[in-house]
Amino acid sequence: MKKTLLPGLGVLLSVAAIPQSIPDFPIPVGLGSAEVHGGYIYYFGGSTSWSGSTRYPTIYRYDGESWENYASMPDNDVWGISSAVKGDRAFVYGGYALGNNKLRIYNFTDNSWEYATSSPDIHAYSGHTMEYFDNYLYMFFKGSVYKYDISGDIWSEGTALAASSDWLFSTMYQDEIYLVGWANAKFYKYNPAGDQWTPLADLPYYVSGGALSTVDDKIYYVAGTSGSQGGTFNNTLVYDIGTDQWSDAGISITGKRDYLAPAFYKNNLYVIGGLDSAANAVDNVEFIVAGIHSAVDPYYYEPGGFELSQNYPNPFSSFTTIHYTIPYESQNNLAGSPVTLKIYDIVGEEAAVLVNEIKPAGIYEIEFNGSALSTGVYFYKLQSGSFSVTKKLHYIQ
């Protein structure tokens, strides 16, 4: 095998990302939803207050320097929405006042919207949460699970959990969905592949309405409320997945807040907006913690135009998928640029060549079969001209 040195690899693995200062949101907003795609933060919908009297059927976008009022949403039912991303599409569900069972699909490439088949009637416009896994959306409301087949535009039901909840919030880690917002401070995870629920360690106290996200094999739960309206907490809880224990992370935001949106952007977790203790929206955007996003995030991109995603699933035991982007400003512009995407083992031996050809500008997806590998840690490197970026993957036989 060819042996290749990976310059800068030690820096990649040992130095945390320097948090980027993101300007405050253009307007006070809460109860919307944020997604990261293609190097941008997109904020969907939201409202000025708990009452929902003023709602924003708008997409705001952050481009690395500033926010802009970027696009419109197809209806005004945007208070209390949940969302998930698959490829170049965002799926936006529910919303006050007439969004019961409503699923919209937004195309990032052309700003178009379409309506998917409505979900089974849950008789509520809010309180739900949604995640993407393996070409399905999983929508949770109270103890029920609703599964949407993206290819077939069909809904079905999974196994319900006999537990009550106020408003659920979710994040993913290694192909499982972790959910908070249950009564009595309960905490559960759901395995979509097996349609199974598992109880986990209770939270230190009941809290709902916080921002939940997975960073560096830990789950962070920022702020939230002990009731249903204004913010009660400004601290951050952290869950250690390995030990099944909650603790206080020692990280606080500037005020008590709930219904704020998490956004993991360029190796940093931020929270956007939310409602203050009087249940009115704020415009704050605050940094929480730096690290590697170990939840499902197939469209996390490095800065600078070229974009490389974290492989998904990771760890993996058979196939994993990698997305990458070649920008128009690359070498040879639209004519294409020589691109390589290679797998290396822990000592720098080349283990596989996934791409070695001229590629025109565009977004690409490649599936890698790791069956020829031994169990362990590997690295995959995207290179074109003077640009290169390396990420880590785990293979388990």
Q: What integer pLDDT is reported at residue 294 of this predicted model?
A: 54
- Which has the closest alpha carbon to 282: 32, 68, 22, 48? 48
Q: What integer pLDDT is reported at residue 292 of this predicted model?
A: 62
Q: What integer pLDDT is reported at residue 6 of this predicted model?
A: 40
For the chain, domains (ranges, CATH) are 17-290 (2.120.10.80), 301-395 (2.60.40.1930)
Q: What integer pLDDT is reported at residue 16 of this predicted model?
A: 38
Residues 6+ apart with CB under 8 A from 233: 207, 210, 223, 224, 225, 226, 256, 257, 258
Q: Is 357 left (phi over 0), alpha (psi -120 to 50) or beta?
A: beta
Task: Confirm if 383 and 354 have CB atoms less than 8 A apart.
Answer: no
DSSP three-state, residue 342: strand
| pTM for this entry | 0.74
Single-letter residue type at 206: Y
pLDDT digits (tens), the chain, 397 positions:
444 444 433 333 333 344 668 999 999 999 999 999 888 999 999 999 999 999 999 999 999 999 999 999 999 999 999 999 988 899 999 999 999 999 999 999 999 999 999 999 988 899 999 999 989 999 999 999 999 999 999 999 999 999 999 899 999 998 899 999 999 999 999 999 999 999 999 999 999 999 999 988 899 999 999 988 899 999 999 999 999 999 999 999 999 999 999 999 877 899 999 999 999 999 999 999 987 665 434 333 333 467 888 998 999 988 898 988 876 543 333 345 688 999 999 888 999 999 998 877 667 788 899 999 999 999 999 998 778 889 999 999 8
- Which has the closest alpha carbon to 126: 104, 146, 102? 102
Q: Return the ∠ at Cα 179 (arms to 173 and 182), rounded to 5°.
A: 160
Q: What integer pLDDT is reported at residue 333 of this predicted model?
A: 38
Q: Is 178 left (phi over 0), alpha (psi -120 to 50) or beta?
A: beta
Q: What integer pLDDT is reported at residue 325 of this predicted model?
A: 80
Q: What is the DSSP string of 271-303?
A: EE--B-TTSBBB--EEEEEES---S--TT---S
Burial of 297 (0-12, 13-18, 19+ CB in 10 A): buried
